[in-house]
Amino acid sequence: MTRSTIAGGALVTVLVLLALAAGHRALEQDVDPAAATSPAITPSTAAAVEDEAQAHPGFLYGRITTDAGTTYEGRLRWGGDQEAFWGDYFNGEKDENPWVAHVPPQRLPKERHSIGIFGFEIAHRERPIDLGRLFMARFGDIARIEARGRDVRVTLKSGTVFDLDRLEASDFDDGVRVWDGRRGVVDLHGGVERAIAGEIGAGGRIRTIELLPTAWLGGAPDQLHGTVRTRQGGFTGFVQWDREECVGTDELDGHTADGDLGLRFDTIRSIARRSRDSSLVTLLDGREIVLSDTREVGHGNRGIYVDDRRYGRVLISWDAFERVDFSPGGSGPAYGDFPPGRPLTGRVTTRAGRRLAGQLVYDLDESETTETLDAPSQGVDYTIPFGRIASILPQRARVTLQSGEELQLERTGDLGEGNAGMLIFVDGRERPEYVPWTDVEQVDFEL
């Protein structure tokens, strides 16, 4: 770093006051004071700038265009204080399920509903299971998001397009905070309901979001990283406490004997569950503080996400959580570290001994390697990209990863009776084969 000397006492005073004001605003807006100004880049500082850029490639970055045609570009954070990294997930509800058309209606799976009185079943009826599907994709797998009337269109890097219902619980409705280098920190909104209610952010309503490789961010905050310990072992990676707090400038809130207290995560060494409603927090300076709160450090905690490289992402429930030890982890994966998804291919072996090989659609839903299998085990919910899975034994709820590790999961979620079955597009056949989930003995995926 070089330091310049500026002559003129009055000018120096004005600049100092402006810098202090910018630093104060930056602290209020989740950005390091160093990032509140944009120093000129000279040949002597080019290497330092390159190092700085490489230090923060994991942050979301993109170009947003509003309905008014205004363009913003910079670091992004959904909802202002939620998803911030390429490994985070964008969620919504799909408008329709196109794979259902490949299955004869009479073969679609059904669920049984009992009618009883005083504990005795007097009748039952069957009806088709719900074949509507939610959408989940890592931001690193997405190329573009755009508003289209009552739909939100998401285009993946692979070119696959999904239309989501804009009126349902889509992350698009939460809006985006953008750190624009020219206009400062601006909140933008995308939801139709917010537009009707007049709750539009300072920058207007979102029309399109183009996701781009992360550019130089200056003093972006540190990403939380550590090891979360549970009864079934430890999970190491980037951490999101209570599904939300994920950078050092975020705060852990709770009650102490002396009143309410908020602690920045970059001052915390570890958090250990002390009881159902309290935790022991150890700070970097060695102090220990007992925080009690049913929301963040008690049973109201919604869970702790860990991006563990072995599995993808896990969500650890408060009941399974024992402690987290924070450690330096650098920045998460960059946008370019998420290659476009490929079609799922492999072989399905039926319980009758048939073997069908070709392109696969799992649960009449997932058809690409970047899509995920979701199932729990002992209070830990696993979200595993299919590209990391070698095989599945449905009747045993056993999943073998490409690494060779075996996971014994529970027969629920994508491994439960609500699974709608498999489509296999066998080469040379006009129509795909459909195998109900109850008839699947084993699924083997190809790399």
In a domain, 125, yes or no: no
End-of-domain residue from the set 211, 236, 257: 211
Whether residue 42 is found in the same domain as residue 72: no
Full residue range of the structural domain in which residue 200 is found? 58-95+134-211
C-alpha closest to that of 362 among 126, 405, 370: 370
Element (H, E) at 376: strand 372-377
In a domain, 65, yes or no: yes
Q: What is the pLDDT along the chain (447 residues), one digit of tens a residue?
A: 333 333 344 433 333 334 334 433 443 344 433 333 333 333 333 343 344 444 589 999 999 999 999 999 999 999 888 899 999 999 999 998 999 999 988 888 776 656 667 666 666 566 767 788 899 999 999 999 999 988 999 999 999 999 999 887 578 888 999 999 899 999 998 755 444 334 445 557 899 999 999 998 777 788 999 999 998 899 999 999 999 999 999 999 999 999 999 999 999 999 999 999 999 999 999 999 999 987 899 999 999 999 999 999 999 999 999 999 999 988 889 999 999 999 999 999 999 999 999 999 999 999 999 999 999 999 999 999 999 999 999 999 999 999 999 999 999 999 998 899 999 999 989 899 999 999 999 999 998
Task: Please give the Cα distance from 376 to 383 (Å, whole number).
Answer: 9
Whether residue 238 is found in the same domain as residue 140: no
In a domain, 217, yes or no: no
Position 58: which residue type? G
Position 268: which residue type? I
Whether residue 383 is found in the same domain as residue 351: yes
Whether residue 328 is found in the same domain as residue 349: no
Whether residue 345 is found in the same domain as residue 383: yes
What's the predicted TM-score (pTM) here? 0.82
In a domain, 147, yes or no: yes
C-alpha closest to that of 412 among 381, 447, 434: 381
Whether residue 204 is found in the same domain as residue 66: yes
Cα dihedral 400, 406, 412, 417 in deg (nearest 10): 40
Whether residue 374 is found in the same domain as residue 235: no
